[in-house]
Amino acid sequence: MSDEQDIILSELSDEELTLQMHDDLYDGMKEEIEESVNILLSRGWMPYDVLTKALVEGMRIVGIDFRDGILFVPEVLLAANAMKGGMAILKPLLAETGAPRLGNMVIGTVKGDIHDIGKNLVTMMMEGAGFEVKDLGINNPVENYLDELENGEYDILGMSALLTTTMPYMKVVIDTMVEKGMREDYVVLVGGAPLNEEFGKAIGADAYCRDAAVAVETAKEYMAKKHNQLGA
Ligand code: B1M
């Protein structure tokens, strides 16, 4: 029997358990991740802390070894699956704030890109903060965003891209909005690991959001401005 099998998760200290979760995420062990998430919650951890300190940090480590050629797509897919298992437990808790409805958002990962963990996290956090979010999923051509915006009542468009090859597609969406005379009707927020503030400005977005918490704060600021303008 390996050391790994001997570990009783509930007997680890918070710090040991968090490190163990980084390992379990790395190894794609979904059931262990789910058990550990539940243990931390039962110890009084805030859902947001479980998310950032255990899951997101674990995925950051996976990302480094993926980049360095130590991990490959099949292993990273398992890690992503384990992460999603943990996120599914946290989702209702993050959404349970009872906050009043602040605004409506459409979000999706751009065409050519199938990464969705970051986008899902943004969706969860936005919902938790009181936004209504329509998630268009992954690999979205410009038509998907525009059809949804035109057929609903939205305040914010959010786009996610994780690849340097897909991030320019955000500009295609924004340029099409400009052509159709609808750009000014929405706040456009963009995010994803390879982006930065400069890129956000260059493509004509209203703001680049470094992470899900920044996305929530930025969306709140823009909604407050909008309400102030309407009230003026
Ligand atoms: Co991919 N992948 N991947 N991958 N993958 C990266 C992005 C990469 C950086 C890895 C690396 O080399 N270090 C690299 C991109 C390099 C580059 O473009 N320069 C890469 C590559 C190359 C690829 C493939 C091409 C690999 C291949 O096939 N050879 C391929 C591409 C497929 C495609 O999309 N067409 C691929 C595939 C995959 C998997 C399918 C195996 C899997 C995705 C599973 C899934 O998402 N369901 C995967 C994963 C998991 C990763 C890494 C390891 C982790 C991404 C992640 O989930 N991070 C990633 C490495 C990395 O990013 N360091 C990598 C955790 C997540 C919480 O963070 O997504 O950054 P993040 O989201 C954050 C913020 O960025 C922000 O808030 C989030 C929460 O705080 N944010 C937003 C994100 N979207 C936002 C939208 C907003 C606001 C904020 O709107 C308002």
Between CA 115 and CA 110 the distance in angstroms is 9
What's the pLDDT tens digit per position in 15-62?
999 999 999 999 999 999 999 999 999 999 999 899 999 998 999 999
pTM assigned to the model? 0.91
What's the mean per-residue pLDDT of the chain?
Answer: 93
CB proximity list for 58: less than 8 A, separation 6 or greater: 21, 22, 24, 25, 26, 79, 83
How far, in Å, is the centroid of ligand 1 from the Cα of 227?
Answer: 35
**Crossing angle of helices 30-42/73-94, nearest 10°?**
30
| Number of the ligand 1 atom closest to the C-alpha atom of 113 | 34
pLDDT value for 17: 98
**Crossing angle of helices 14-26/30-42, nearest 10°?**
160
Residue with tokens 């931390």: 40
What's the pLDDT tens digit per position in 68-85?
999 999 999 999 999 999
What's the pLDDT tens digit per position in 6-16?
899 999 999 99
Out of 115, 123, 125, mutate this one to test ligand 1's pocket (max ligand atoms within 8 Å of CB): namely 115
Out of 66, 83, 188, mutate this one to test ligand 1's pocket (max ligand atoms within 8 Å of CB): namely 66
How far, in Å, is the centroid of ligand 1 from the Cα of 163?
Answer: 7
How far, in Å, is the centroid of ligand 1 from the Cα of 115?
Answer: 5
**Chain center to CA of 77:** 16
Range 171-194 average pLDDT: 98
Among residues 145, 143, 175, 141, the alpha carbon closest in space to that of 158 is found at: 145
Q: What percent of the chain has pLDDT over 70?
A: 94
What's the pLDDT band for 125 if we cut at 50, 70, 90? confident
CB burial class (10 A; 0-12, 13-18, 19+) of residue 192?
Answer: buried
pLDDT value for 1: 38
